[in-house]
Amino acid sequence: MTATYPTPEFRRTALAPGLLGAIVLLAGIALVGSDGFTVIRFAASILALIVAVFAWQARQWWWLIGLVPVAIAWNPIVPLELGNDGWLGAQYVGALVFIAAALLIKVRNPEDRNRR
Closest CA to 14 of 111, 100, 94: 100
Rounded-to-integer distance, Cα 7 and Cα 11, Å = 10
- 115 found inside a domain: no
Whether the per-residue pLDDT at 113 is higher than 80: the answer is no
pLDDT in tens, 2-12: 656 666 677 78
pLDDT in tens, 11-64: 788 889 999 999 999 999 888 878 888 899 999 999 999 999 999 988 888 889
- 96 found inside a domain: yes
Give the pLDDT score at 67. Answer: 92
Summarize the confidence of residues 93-114 as an average pLDDT. Answer: 83
Structural domains counted in the chain: 1
Give the pLDDT score at 7. Answer: 64
- 63 found inside a domain: yes
- 2 found inside a domain: no
Is residue 104 within 8 A of residue 10, CB to CB? The reply is no
pLDDT in tens, 68-100: 999 999 998 888 888 888 888 899 999 999 999
- 113 found inside a domain: no
**Alpha carbon distances (Å) from 8 to 19, 49, 55, 56, 103:** 20, 26, 19, 21, 15
Give the pLDDT score at 108. Answer: 78
Parent domain of 100: 11-108
